[in-house]
Chain A
């Protein structure tokens, strides 16, 4: 079964600081990787996704993620956060031929103005 681990569930940082959220998965085959964001009181929205090709993918709002196959990781980064990035961030994984997403437990990020 596929599983997803996200560490540092609560992250507090100041505006302009850099953000990196770790995501590790356990699945032996080819994977599809997603980061979703949930702003306070809102539904989940797709931030970015990786299927194949360039392992560095860029998403909306200045976010990017890097797929490192050897480390089973798909870490999310943003060089300079804003107050509006306060949200919960979820990493999700599924394998080819499997349309069921496995979500991590999420990272609650609070950006202090």
Chain B
């Protein structure tokens, strides 16, 4: 059982380049999330999708777009990468998105913007 799978695991971009981070879950979860993790900052929510067909902004959405392609997949796109977007990105999912559901995390994508 793979859980939450993120690709790629590592990526280096130049400023201004675009990129899409992929996330897929095989747990039939309804809700999916994208976070970024920066040293001393904890995890900050970028975007989330409460259910297939819906997306909402989180705490730090600027510079990002998302697509909930289907129930399994939730992608995060950087249209014009900036050095401030250097971070570790985590995708997560939860069964129903209600407050009591724990979230299940992927292994992360380590992204460096030069």
Contact = CB atoms under 8 A, between A and B. Distances in A.
Interface stretch (A12-20, A39-47, A78-86): A39-47
Nearest to B97: A99
Contacts of A103: 35, 42-44
Interface residues of B, number: 26
Interface stretch (B10-18, B79-87, B102-110): B102-110
A32 B105 contact: no
A60 interface: no
B45 interface: yes
B99 A96 contact: yes
Q: Is the interface of A mostly helix, strand, loop or mixed?
A: loop
A9 interface: yes
B42 A99 contact: no
Interface in B80-102: 90, 92, 94, 97-102
Nearest to A99: B97
Interface string A91-106: 0001111111101111
A42 B40 contact: no
A42 B108 CA distance: 8
26 contacts: A4-B42, A32-B99, A32-B100, A34-B102, A42-B107, A43-B4, A43-B90, A43-B106, A43-B108, A44-B90, A44-B92, A45-B105, A46-B103, A49-B100, A90-B43, A94-B99, A95-B99, A99-B31, A99-B97, A99-B99, A101-B45, A101-B103, A103-B35, A103-B43, A106-B40, A106-B42
Top 6 A-B pairs ranked by shortest CB distance? A105-B42, A43-B105, A103-B43, A103-B42, A44-B105, A99-B97
Interface of A: 4, 6, 9, 32, 34, 36, 42-46, 49, 51, 90, 94-101, 103-106
